[in-house]
Amino acid sequence: MKCIVLDGKALAAQIASDLASQVASLTNMSNGRVPTLATILVGNDPASATYVRMKLNACAAIGMDSRAIVLSSDTTTVELLEAIDALNGDETVDGILLQHPVPDPIDERACFDRIDIRKDVDGVTSAGFGKMALGMNAFGAATPAGIMRLLGHYGISLRGKHAVVLGRSPILGKPMAAMLTNADATVTLCHSHTPDLGHEVRRADIIVAAVGRPHFVKANWIKDGAVVVDAGYHPGGIGDVEPDGLLSRCAAVTPVPGGVGPMTISTLISQTLEAATRANSK
C-alpha cells in the first residue's frame, strides 16, 4: 500500500504565497491599512511564548501586521477582559488570539467568550463553536479547521467513513468531531473515560489523535488502510501516535513535526485575512 504523507508544511507554504498577494491587494483597497492580528500572551510559559512568536513571524512573512500584548502571570480575569475589550473596539485590529492556556485562576472561558465573534479568528468563542457545529458561517477552531483543509487538499474522502477523535478539548477534539460530522463522517469522540480505547481505534477509518501524551496511541491499535492525523507535539518531535510501521500499511499519515502544526498557523492567518476582508467590505 502506498501511504500518502499529509505534508502540512508544504501546503502551508503554498497557502502563504497566495495569502501574501491577497494581503497586498486588500491593503491597496483599504487605503494602506494592513490586516492586523493581535495576540495576547499571559504569563511566561516558554512554549506559549514560542507559539505566539511563530504566529507573529507568519504574519510578517506575508506582509500582515501583528500586535503583541504581553501580560504578567498575576493578571486577573477582569484585567484580561479589559485588554480584550480594548482590542474589540480597535478598528485597526482584525483578529484576536488569546494564547491557550492562561494561568490559573483566570477564567479562560469567560475571556474567550469576550472576544468579538467577528474577530474570533482562532475559533474559540462559544457562539462561534455553536454556529460552526450547526453548519453556519463562523470561523472554525484553527487546528481542526487546518486538519480539514489538509485532508481536503489530499483528497481524503470523509463521507460515510468512521472517524475516531481522541480527546475532547473545546478548542480541538470537540470542534474536530463537529467538523467531521458536518462532512458526513460517522464520528466517535473518545476521552479519558472511554472503555477499551484500543477497540474504538481499531474500528476507525480516520483517526485524529489529540490527547497530549507522547505515543499514547499504539501502532497495533490502528487498522491497515486507516488515515492517521497526529495533532500532538512533544519535545524531540514526538507525536501522540506511535509511528512504528504506519507508513507501510496506512492510507495516509501526518508527519510530526510538519503535519498539523503548520496548518494551525496557516488557518489562523487565513481567517484573520478573511476577517479583514469582511471589515473592509462594510
Residues classed as catalytic:
55, 99, 122
Residue 254 CB partners (closer than 8 Å, separation 6+) = 5, 6, 8, 150, 228, 229, 230, 260
Q: How far is CA 117 from CA 121, 141, 154, in A?
A: 8, 12, 30
Burial degree of 135 (CB within 10 A; 0-12, 13-18, 19+): exposed
Phi, psi of 14 (to 5 degrees): -65, -45
Contact 224, 244 (CB under 8 A): no
Degrees to nearest 5, angle at CA 196 with 164 and 219: 60
Residue 198 CB partners (closer than 8 Å, separation 6+) = 218, 221
Residue for grid cell 495569502: 19
d(CA 162, CA 190): 13
